[in-house]
Chains A and B, each alone.
Chain A
Amino acid sequence: ILNVEQSPQSLHVQEGDSTNFTCSFPSSNFYALHWYRWETAKSPEALFVMTLNGDEKKKGRISATLNTKEGYSYLYIKGSQPEDSATYLCAFGAGSYQLTFGKGTKLSVIP
């Protein structure tokens, strides 16, 4: 059974603050690491797919880094806005397109 851990489970930040959270995954048989943003009552939205050790990806105020050797990825949000409030999921892919998900980090941005 693959273990994908996300921390923290939830956090509250003030509007304008920057924040980050962690996804840890097995360091063996790595193929890809996915980040999704999931707002209530909507479909999870794909943010990043990362495949190479040292990868850094950016989408607006959101960025992510990847360390496959030690098995972790960080997601950063710069200058959080209320619309960033969502659950952020990471998912580990071991090569067969099947994904193993973490439980997510629930972010609440307080205006």
Chain B
Amino acid sequence: GAVVSQHPSRVICKSGTSVKIECRSLDFQATTMFWYRQFPKQSLMLMATSNEGSKATYEQGVEKDKFLINHASLTLSTLTVTSAHPEDSSFYICSARPGTPGAETQYFGPGTRLLVL
């Protein structure tokens, strides 16, 4: 149980295009989903927290107009990198927290490697 999928696993795009990444909880309902980014040799850095049906909360330094997050259902959140540039090339990974009261564990997807040319 507690499986999170993420699609696509890898994407290469041209500078200026937009890329959408999907994060799905397959066997549980996720009240909250999180989006992280990891640059080489760095730790996972939280970008934003998304709650179903409400606006995402972005961490300091993360542009909300650049990284659009939609959490339209309890099993799906999407991250859209708008007008991607080479400096957006990174590893993006989502996690989902079950809605069960007291549930602390976040379950992660396998991540998406984005390369912007």
Residues of A bordering B, CB below 8 Å: 4, 32, 34, 36, 41-44, 46, 49, 51, 89, 91, 93, 97-104
Contacts and interface: CB of A to CB of B under 8 A. Distances in A.
B43 A97 contact: no
6 contacts: A4-B43, A32-B104, A89-B43, A97-B49, A97-B97, A103-B43
Contacts of A51: 104
Chain B interface residue count: which class? 20 to 34
A98 B34 contact: yes
B43 A36 contact: no
Interface of B: 2, 4, 32, 34, 36, 41-46, 49, 93, 97, 104-111
B97 A104 contact: no
A46 B43 contact: no
A4 B46 CA distance: 14
A49 B43 contact: no
A103 B45 CA distance: 10
B110 A43 contact: yes
